[in-house]
Structure 1
């Protein structure tokens, strides 16, 4: 892809909370139409990085470009346009309990008045079918769904507006191995069908290899390794190998909180 403009380009990104440095000079290119997986331990900065790209957290310095346009220096109106290119599957679904499934799926489109409620109901049915759910599920409420069904509804909402970019925050958390594999398969299918660029953060190594084309590991605010997702279990990097194989002994040590 030489000469191709990265879909997402991050340079020298820094973010601290008080004295704690969470992101320490992140440099990352995610190419169009690829899926990039970021792994790392709890507190390594994965979620903060996603929230910076989404604009939910303002970094201290650096640049975040989408299609060559810097999110951090763009006007508020342009920032809204750039964020409108992004769909998000949240770790715990983040569904609205008081709304039926069909309204959850089309929430953003209804809020922006891109669909009428009648159109929204019909559109939700077709999107639910894409994630393996019967359109009749649209009339149920989130509390009436299993964990796996809630994940599917969250995925349906993420793809409802046919976004250019998809983010997945721990997509298999709380699921059994079989349902996790099902969700990963749906994610791969949806990304390919839309032609989207995807970033996923996960602790699940099987999921990372199923979803990702490329991968990186975040440790103490820095990307310490990048490579093909297929090499995660045999990276040649001592820290990555310790993490991916779940070894107690190695260069990564648990820090005690004071």
Structure 2
């Protein structure tokens, strides 16, 4: 791990929708080149937290710093530039059906007319983007020829790999993973987790993954945190998730009915 300034620093983050408090004072540090896994039940605020960091949702109060810069205080153009250092793997891959696989992988690069991080030239031509997409597909275990197919011709596991390829295509400094193993069988889930770990390490990126899959959490994460009722109630090494010593984490990770976490009835 390099440096002492957190890559991502969140303080006092609040977000409510009407009378429903979703984030209720979240504090979280993610150090450079760390893979942070955020766990928690449905409705605990995991996805809202990611969307606030991405700038898709405006929090009610609090601060979000990337490399020591409060992104909430930036203008829209500066925020957009900051977002370009982030890659995202969506829960259901979220591929564009009207585009070929290689166009999906290179979408961000073509849309911004830019090269991957560390590229020698400022702009990427369509032909160069196609070659680059083929190389990135190979990094996630797919042949470059898959790039000529449409997303509808791929299995769920292959679509997830393409989504991962798109997330890493620009060699981002930060990677977000939203429930990366949802809809996959246990073996394919382990394959995707392994690819995620390899990609994060090869890029030297900082990663945040949200999941309720404990096997995935321990495979992906180096650090972990648990959200409950909009607050971080525990954080520590991901390897300690199954024996954290925290009653809430213990109940959640072992799927126990009895414990401090209670199911709330929808009103």
TM-score range, shorter chain: over 0.9
Query: What runs of 5+ residues in structure 2 fail to find an aligned partner?
Result: 115-123
Aligned to 1:48: 48
Taking the aligned partners of 1:251 and 1:65, their CA distance within structure 2 comes to 32
Asked if residue 38 in structure 1 is aligned to residue 47 in structure 2, the reply is: no
Task: Please say if residues 2 and 33 of structure 2, whose CA atoms lie closer than 8 Å, have aligned partners that are also in contact.
Answer: no
Query: What runs of 5+ residues in structure 1 fail to find an aligned partner?
Result: none
Taking the aligned partners of 2:245 and 2:21, their CA distance within structure 1 comes to 27
Aligned to 2:238: 229
Instruction: State the 1:103 CA deviation.
Output: 0.2
Aligned pair partner of 1:152 in 148, 157, 161: 161
Asked if residue 211 in structure 1 is aligned to residue 220 in structure 2, the reply is: yes
Instruction: State the 1:127 CA deviation.
Output: 0.3
Query: Secondary structure of 1:226's match?
Result: strand
Instruction: State the 1:2 CA deviation.
Output: 9.5
Aligned to 1:111: 111
Taking the aligned partners of 1:207 and 1:33, their CA distance within structure 2 comes to 18
Instruction: State the 1:248 CA deviation.
Output: 1.1
Task: Please say if residues 10 and 27 of structure 2, whose CA atoms lie closer than 8 Å, have aligned partners that are also in contact.
Answer: yes
Aligned pair partner of 1:195 in 189, 204, 215: 204
Query: Secondary structure of 1:155's match?
Result: helix
Taking the aligned partners of 1:256 and 1:96, their CA distance within structure 2 comes to 37
Instruction: State the 1:78 CA deviation.
Output: 1.3
Task: Please say if residues 2 and 32 of structure 2, whose CA atoms lie closer than 8 Å, have aligned partners that are also in contact.
Answer: no
- Equivalent pairs, count: 258
Aligned pair partner of 1:243 in 243, 247, 252: 252
Taking the aligned partners of 1:180 and 1:203, their CA distance within structure 2 comes to 13
Alpha-carbon RMSD across the aligned residues, in angstroms, is 1.0
Taking the aligned partners of 1:74 and 1:257, their CA distance within structure 2 comes to 37
Aligned to 1:27: 27
Task: Please say if residues 87 and 168 of structure 2, whose CA atoms lie closer than 8 Å, have aligned partners that are also in contact.
Answer: yes
Matches within 5 A, 1:18-97: 18-97=18-97
Taking the aligned partners of 2:260 and 2:2, their CA distance within structure 1 comes to 35
Instruction: State the 1:161 CA deviation.
Output: 0.3
Taking the aligned partners of 1:42 and 1:202, their CA distance within structure 2 comes to 10
Taking the aligned partners of 1:139 and 1:231, their CA distance within structure 2 comes to 43
